[in-house]
Amino acid sequence: MKVKLGNSEYSIKFGFKPTLKSHLIKDVSESVSEQDGSLESVEKLLLETLPKMLLVGLQVNHKDEFGYDYDTNEKYDEQFNKVLNLLSEKIDDGEIDCIELFNELENELESNSFLAKMMETEKKNRTPAKKTPSKTANKN
C-alpha cells in the first residue's frame, strides 16, 4: 500500500516484529470495537491509533526516516510525533480523509501482512465442516 505524506510517497508494510512489539493488533481491535460515535472514541482513533498504525507500517521500508527501537521504544515518541505532524498537515489541507486512511491501513494489516495467513487459518478452523448424514442413522 502506498501513502503520500508531505512531498513523499511511502510504502506501508506491517512487519512481524514491529507490529507485535507495538501491540498494534490489540490497539486497532480496541479502536474498532470502541467506535460508538463518542468524541472520546473518535479522538483516540485519530490521535493515537491512526498515527501508530502508520508509524508501525513505515518500519519495514522506511526505518531510515521513521525508525525506532522496538524493544526499548527509544525514539518512539519522536517518530510518533513526526508522523502525527505529517498526518495533521495533510488532514488539515484536505488531502487525506483520516477515516478512509484508517480503513485502508486496517485492510492492509488484515489482508497483506503476516496476519493474513493467520487470520485465514483461523477462519477455516472456526468454520464447521459440513456434516454428512450417517448411513446407519437412515436405516429403519
Q: Which residues, in sequence order, are bridge partners of residue 5? A: 8
Cβ neighbourhood burial of 32 (10 Å; 0-12, 13-18, 19+): middle
Per-residue pLDDT tens for 78-127? 999 999 999 999 999 888 899 899 999 999 998 877 777 766 665 566 65
Q: How confident is the model at residue 32 (pLDDT cuts 50, 70, 90)?
A: confident
What percent of the chain lies above the pLDDT cut of 90? 52
Contact at 8 Å (CB) between 28 and 49? yes
Gap between the Cα atoms of 117 and 37, Å rounded: 32
Q: Which residues, in sequence order, are bridge partners of residue 4? A: 9
SS3 13: coil
* Amino acid code (one letter) for 73: N
